Amino acid sequence: MTQLAESGVDALRAALEGPVLIPGEDGYDGARRLWNSEHERRPAVITRVRSEADVQAAVRYAVAEGLEIAVRGGAHNMAGLSSVDGGLMIDLSLLNHVSVDAAARRARAGGGALLGDLDRATQEHGLAVPAGVVSHTGVGGLTLGGGMGLLTRMHGLSIDNLESVRIVTADGQALRAAADENPDLFWAVRGGGGNFGVVTEFEFRLHEVGPIVHYGLAFWGQERGAELLRAAREVIPALPREVNAMIACLNAPPAPFVPDEHQFKLGYALIVVGFGSAEQHAEAMEQVRQLVPPLFEFATPMPYAAVQQLLDEPNAWGMYHYEKGTYLEQLSDEAIAVITEQMPRKTSPLSVSMLYHLDQAYLETADDATAFSGQRTERYAMFIIATTPQLETLDAERSWTRMFWSALQPYTIGIGSYVNGMADLDTERLRAAYGSKYGRLVELKRKYDPANVFHRNQNIKP
């Protein structure tokens, strides 16, 4: 820590309700830990904020002391940007309240809330907001990039259901941004990531969901991958709006519902979740089964909150990760050939590729209504994710991910991708992701953060 920071840390402690930690103090190492174990950062100061006023004081202190700022919500940032060496980390994890107004169908979530916190609070009332599929992900990082998951087909992205935010900007001001107040800032935070400030509270619209939904998983061996993917491109777009299906290219897990002889086998799965009737879900599963008989399948009614936790363990803390994402206009024969050729080349059984088909409610928000890094046309969002339990094997998996992504490029919608699926800091890809929105984002960055105080993100430079 710099002398300047040391001289003022007592004053910072006095200004904050939440604790302030420096290296060597109890709690410091736990607070600096990140989900992706590849990244070992040592901030000079960690502020564990408890209020919006704490965030304001932390931002002002860091700017005055010339300290680089990192913002930690769920700490899931793939590139480790939610911490910083020698700077100041604003740790939002204590700012994790969720309150629900069931009559108005609104929820307010603190900037440090996790998806599991949001799901638990809203499901008490049979309500939910579209969000991601790993419950220990932070609401903030997911939402600011867009937020897609199992409910996207019915109700759009997380940002499509955002009513307002409370945000602390680079000058330490606390603002409300919504359609009726600071609407330009509200446009920018819906997809522009953490470039414009620290969001201390999100207000979401809610929808009736569950509490029991219908879950199904069917699995095919790698030798039938191309056949399954060709069938999926016909079945998935034709499913009722109340049924969503994700394609997963993975090794079968060692789960009780997986026959012993198929555990760890490389193959392809369809995860089919129905939010309507049991009959509707059963019909969707039958369509898949009739086209290409699976090696095994599993289907059961399940609480929505439990479905949202099914991928928690494969994405547990303590692993090493890398990711590249892209958009496919369609699952063409050429793209399928690349997928089935590249999947067997991975070396870690934990590495996966996931495809979300984006249609229905995703298309019902105008492309220019938000800063989201993807046009509102029917498409597949594809994520190639390297995961390994040892740092020594990460380089091989990272190389596989990059090779896979490069081989797909002739069949994708340009080099741009969903910003939440970008682990590399690549200005060219970032510009391509935002397309015609990039210029407007630069103008708003100049207005709200001209000194680029918030740059530990997929950065839009002023």
State the CATH number of the domain containing residue 252. 3.40.462.20
Does any domain span residue 431? no
Q: Which of 41, 56, 91 is the last residue of a domain?
A: 91
Q: What is the value of pTM for the model shown?
A: 0.94
Domain boundary among 61, 91, 121: 91
The total number of structural domains in the chain stands at 3
Give the end of a domain, one of 176, 194, 209.
209
- Residue pair 371/165 in contact (Cβ under 8 Å)? The answer is no
Asked if residue 439 belongs to a domain, the reply is: no
Q: What is the DSSP letter of 299?
A: E
Residues 277 and 412 in one domain: yes
Is 433 a domain residue? no
DSSP H or E stretch at residue 315: none
Here the CATH number for the domain that contains residue 84 is: 3.30.43.10
Residue 7: the pLDDT is: 59
Q: Are 106 and 84 contained in the same domain? A: no
| Mean pLDDT per 10-residue segment, the chain (462 residues) | 61 94 95 96 97 98 97 95 97 98 98 97 98 96 96 97 98 98 98 97 97 96 95 94 96 92 95 95 91 93 96 94 95 97 96 97 97 94 96 97 96 87 87 94 98 96 95
Residue 358 maps to a domain: yes
Residues 6 or more apart whose CB falls under 8 angstroms from that of 79 comprise: 36, 39, 423, 424, 425
pLDDT of 4: 46
- Residue 412: its pLDDT value, please? 94
45 and 113 fall within a common domain: no
Residue 264 belongs to a domain: yes
Query: Where in the sequence is the domain holding 401, given as residue range(s)?
Result: 212-421
24 and 130 part of one domain:
no
Tell whether 218 and 197 lie within a shared domain. Answer: no
- The CATH number that applies at residue 158 is 3.30.465.10
Cβ atoms < 10 Å from Cβ of 190:
24
295 inside domain: yes
The pLDDT, as a whole number, for residue 384 is 97
> Are residues 288 and 229 part of one domain?
yes
Give 109's strand partners.
98, 202
Q: Are residues 261 and 410 in the same domain?
A: yes
Q: Domain for residue 438, yes or no?
A: no
- Same domain for 223 and 167: no
Q: What distances in angstroms separate CA 367 from CA 122, 182, 205, 214, one per listed residue?
A: 28, 20, 20, 31
Q: Are residues 249 and 361 in the same domain?
A: yes
Shared-domain flag, residues 118 and 75: no
Does residue 61 lie in a domain region?
A: yes
Report how far apart, in Å, the C-alpha atoms of 173 and of each of 60, 66, 71, 156, 421 are.
9, 18, 16, 31, 30
Sign of the CA dihedral running 305, 200, 419, 318: negative
Shared domain check, 353 and 267: yes
Same domain, 268 and 385: yes
